[in-house]
Amino acid sequence: MNKGIKFLSCLLLLLFISSENFASENFTDFNPPSDTSEKAIKKLSNKQAHRAAVMSAILPGLGQAYNKKFWKIPIVYAVLAGGIALFTFENNKYQIYHKELVYRYAHNQAHGDTNLVNLSVTDLNTQKAVYDKYRDFSAVGILIIYALNVIDASIDGHFKTFDVSDNLSLSIKPKTFYCVQNPLGIGAGLSFSLTFK
């Protein structure tokens, strides 16, 4: 309990220190002044992406809020909650088989759980190993989800200054062509055309 309070205190302190640095920021969409050079825009974009990534690393979803992608926050927490629930389920199953094995080794008899009485020690060890493996997979999954949360915030931070003006256009059109493999001799596909003005 004491370690949890210390961890939470440190996390809140980091969050407070980080929020002071961002408090003076204007969280509106990025509109650079006309005299700003391309190098300055890129530097600002990198700075915003870095801040969003750090904020998401401190608290999942905070970087998405900084990037004004509020719709992503419930998704982040739902997926994290699913991963944590799966980890908890697998850990509880692991603990059941582990405790039964410890009891059997100490007392040379079954603990009395009706679901486990008919299982041999080998079966218990097998089940314990299976749930140990699944528990480890779910822990790795939680870390991957956490990392994807940080990566997503960083990428959205870079896209804040991405050029989406009319000078860039992509057109996709259906296209037919001659195809030797087709008995009718006709093939269908898509034609992509990227235009820079």
> Closest by alpha carbon to 176, among 157, 165, 191?
191
Per-residue pLDDT at 72 exceeds 90: yes
pLDDT tens track for 6-34: 555 555 455 445 444 444 444 444 455 55
**Mean pLDDT across 170-179:** 81
pLDDT tens track for 84-95: 999 999 999 999
What's this model's pTM, rounded to 2 decimal places? 0.62
Instruction: Please report how many Cα atoms fall inside a 13 Å half-sphere around the Cα of residue 186, on the Cβ side.
Output: 4
Higher pLDDT, residue 195 or 80? 80
**Phi, psi dihedral angles at 59 (to 5 degrees):** -145, 115
Tokens 């898509």 belong to residue: 190
Q: For residue 190, what pLDDT band results from cuts at 50, 70 and 90? A: confident
Per-residue pLDDT at 104 exceeds 80: yes
